[in-house]
Amino acid sequence: MDQKTCHTSVLPKETIGFLAPQPGATVVDGTLGGGGHTRMLAEAVGPEGLVIAIDRDAAAIDRACEALKGLPVRFAQANFCDIPEVLDAVGVEKVDAVLLDIGLSSDQLADRERGFSFESDGPLDLRFDVSEGEPAFRLVNRLKTETLADLIYEFGEERFSRRIARRIAQVREREPIHLANDFARLVASAVPRPKTPQRIHPATRTFQALRIAVNEELKSLKLALERVPGRLKAGGRLAVISFHSLEDRLVKEAFRNSQQWHSLTRTPITAGEEELAVNSRSRSAKLRVAEKLG
């Protein structure tokens, strides 16, 4: 396996600036990914501090163990909604800050065996942790047409969800759907061609919907937002980077709890022109940060 990451962390300066980790602090990076944010946090807390880096993807942890060697980082393969259990396992009661970057990493997109990319000739899997849950190709082959349409509409906010679901049903009658690139072409064939060129691939929202479903991403985020405050010190900060409106809505609603949080971002922080020029994936990123009240 390639031990080098190809992922570029989004909003790095803004995220670290808002979290403001101090030397000796204990911080959780609940979404290790390519390790960019983790490295910055580890360098900020220094040798007397600790960063607890969590990811569901075993490959991400394998890469980061090598890349972040020598820094004050402890790794755990887990879902970020299980942060309390991870902290219990390492003997930490409360932490100074938590970061959640709820996005798909470039390393996962580049893994042809996982099916995250529309060009992947591997199976339409879409799981972050391939040891648990159901791969997406099984989902699209077994769900009723109406259920599949509802899923694509709810999690992908795809207005052509019914047409796409009917097309999927037609194709799977002849043979089971399996490969990611075949599925991407199938979805594209069901979506009307726009009069003007579109910035995103016509299968983007459908892939998003299936990925959210197989990984239970919204459920995990909702649980994390409920459970993290109990493990943050008073004055501790939670930063969440989201990539679509469903996630951002959950974060926005959670931070409206004025009994628990003081929101530090009245509106979400987004990438500037300089970052957009070098990392197009940052275009949809939204950062919200809140401080836990005492």
CB proximity list for 179: less than 8 A, separation 6 or greater:
115, 120, 121, 122, 123, 124
Could you tell me the residue ranges of all domains in the chain? 12-107+218-292, 116-215
Total-model pTM: 0.93
Average pLDDT, the chain: 93
Q: What's the CA gap between 201 and 205, in Å, rounded? A: 9
User: Is pLDDT of 3 > 80?
Assistant: no
Please name the helix (run of DSSP H) or strand (run of DSSP E) that holds residue 55, with its range, or none: strand 50-55
- Over residues 20-56, the pLDDT tens digits come to 999 999 999 999 998 999 999 999 999 999 999 999 9
> Considering the domain 12-107+218-292 in this protein, what is its CATH number?
3.40.50.150
What are the residues whose beta carbons fall under 8 Å from the beta carbon of 155, sequence distance 6 or more?
Answer: 208, 209, 210, 212, 213, 218, 246
- Contact present, 124 and 115 (Cβ < 8 Å): yes
pLDDT tens digits, residue range 91-116?
A: 999 999 999 999 777 677 767 788 98
pLDDT > 70: percent of the chain: 97
The predicted-structure confidence for 173-208, as pLDDT tens digits, reads as follows: 999 999 999 999 999 999 998 777 777 899 999 999
CATH code, 116-215: 1.10.150.170
